[in-house]
Structure 1
Amino acid sequence: MSALPSIDVPSARSESPCDSASASPAGTRAPARRDCSGLTLVEVMVGMFIIGTAALAGLSGLLFSLRLSHSNLSGLVAHSTAVSVAEQIRALGFGGLDADPLPVDIPSIPAGSLTLDVWNDRTEDINDTPSLASDDLQMSIRPEITRGTTEDGVQIAQVIVRYRWVDRSFLTARTREESLTFLLSSSSTF
């Protein structure tokens, strides 16, 4: 049997100049191999787009966290001020509830007083920026006292300290309101 002649079939894939050094004729020096380990412009642009998108998402989350933190600080200061007022009213005792206005000190207005059943406006500089009044916490406190008598003839007073504040942490200003309630009686309790 005779051997079939060999046929050179060109490869479907063309070689890039980076794949291998091209064949050189006998006796000549082979050309230097090219360094093709870099990235293409498209790969760099896609990478920059992904990094930019991730950075924007992270920045957005950071800004939301900062706003939420400021909102919580405003609520905490308002609550702390209301608790301070409630403790001072409780310290007056049952007999001291007859005064109107109540001789209660507010942290932002020392030696002040609170009028019953009226919103008493207060301002707290929670950011320690005296020259910038627009970032201050604006709040109102309303003490309400309801008196009654138990079946045993003991006089009691239900004290409700309502407080509200304006939260400007997010895009729109929102007014929030909460209250604290406690009882005082004419007889001593142990």
Structure 2
Amino acid sequence: MANELSKQEKKDGIIYGAIVGVLTVVLSVIGIYHTQSASNYSSLFVVSSALKILGSILAPIGFVYLLKKRNGKNWLFSTALKSIYIFLASSIIVGSLGITITQKLLIERPVLEGSYQNLMNLKIVEMEGKGATDEEIDQQMEVIEKDREFAFEPISFRNTIPPIFISLLLNFIFAMVLALLFRSTQVKK
């Protein structure tokens, strides 16, 4: 059938997704080390936003372009969606598992502790500078503390697999948008 993906198209999606997943892990590690050493919240925010945009939007769009260039002769919406979703699913699985393993097993605990402590200190200074109340600051610290607790939990099914499934569901929408943008508008003969 014309809408079915070839083995090569599936393989390309998985390989490109794995590359983006590894890139996501690397960007995450860079973010942790930058958070640990950042001197003000503004630079922390800019760098962390840039890393997130690069890892979750620009890199996937770039690799979808490469995927289409390699396999998209007749990339109708259905074919594009399947190919892109295989790519995104692969990147999510590799990235999520990689970040979890890296944070929980490879990055030394003092580095992660320092990262969260510096984030909290910088956030407090930033919020005080903007005139935030103690209650508002406490609420923000509670959010960061929950993230910190999650980061230090041992690896388990509960803290690894459900977030992957949630990401897979949300990225289906991203895959549909990308399929609309990258599909062939007319079939080449």
Relative contact order higher in (CA < 8 Å, ≥ 6 apart)? 2
TM-score, normalised via structure 1 length: 0.30
The structure with the largest alpha-carbon Rg is 1
> Which structure features the higher share of helix residues?
2
> Which structure features the higher share of strand residues?
1
